[in-house]
């Protein structure tokens, strides 16, 4: 019986929270569904699976939208594509590993599911502006940033502007 009480309490809490979010949205003049929770769920999903190959259909199913709708929501709300966001997050975590471990670059590339070291190097250079080996040599500071409510990640300096 205790379990059913917990379920009822969780449902009641969810309904109250939903009504609060709906009211807040109406106060701000939002007449469509507030996608804040969808973005939060997407960011949490990506961060918790950053060292795996993220499957869009699985992610969309777990978040509760179709792949195309989830991509559209993410682009509309954040201004960047979901694929680019995932790539940035993988590169940021890899950059942290490059600076703070002695692991070889191939192992780091593999850890973050890049198909080969060349793909990793091209993606890293596109996001950061340096090759991973130059980044390791320079060891620029990597800051902690807030990605969304309750979720923090690493942020690497983008396009450092140093000519090697």
Alpha helices (runs of H) in 33-81, residue ranges in sequence order: 36-48, 56-63, 67-78
Compute the distance between CA of residue 137 and CA of residue 80 in angstroms, rounded to an integer: 30
What per-residue confidence (pLDDT) applies to 161? 53
Compute the distance between CA of residue 7 and CA of residue 81 in angstroms, rounded to an integer: 36
pLDDT band at 5 (very low <50, low <70, confident <90, very high): very low
User: Exposed, middle or buried, 90 (CB in 10 Å: 0-12/13-18/19+)?
Assistant: buried
Distances (CA, A) of 159 to 44, 82, 117, 162: 26, 21, 20, 8
Kindly give, in sequence order, each residue whose CB lies less than 8 Å from that of residue 118, ignoring residues fewer than 6 positions away. none
What per-residue confidence (pLDDT) applies to 3? 44
Q: What percent of the chain has pLDDT over 70?
A: 76
pLDDT surpasses 90 at 52:
yes
Of 100, 87, 106, nearest to 144 by C-alpha is: 100
What per-residue confidence (pLDDT) applies to 50? 96
Q: What percent of the chain has pLDDT over 90?
A: 67
Q: What is the mean pLDDT of residues 134-159?
A: 89
């Amino acid at each position: 019986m205790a379990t059913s009480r917990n379920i009822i309490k969780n449902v009641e809490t969810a309904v109250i929270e939903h009504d609060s979010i709906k009211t807040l949205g109406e106060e701000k003049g939002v007449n469509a569904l507030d996608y804040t929770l969808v973005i939060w769920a997407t960011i949490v999903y990506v961060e918790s699976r950053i060292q795996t190959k993220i499957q869009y259909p699985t992610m969309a199913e777990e978040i509760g939208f179709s792949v195309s709708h989830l991509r559209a929501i993410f682009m509309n709300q954040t201004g960047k594509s979901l694929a680019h966001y995932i790539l940035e997050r993988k590169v940021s975590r890899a950059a942290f590993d490059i600076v703070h471990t002695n692991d070889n670059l191939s192992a780091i590339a593999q850890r973050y599911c890049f198909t080969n070291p060349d793909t990793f190097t091209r993606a890293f250079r596109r996001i950061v502006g340096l090759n991973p080996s130059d980044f390791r040599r320079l060891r620029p500071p990597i800051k902690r940033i807030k990605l969304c409510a309750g979720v923090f990640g690493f942020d690497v300096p983008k396009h450092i502007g140093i000519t090697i």
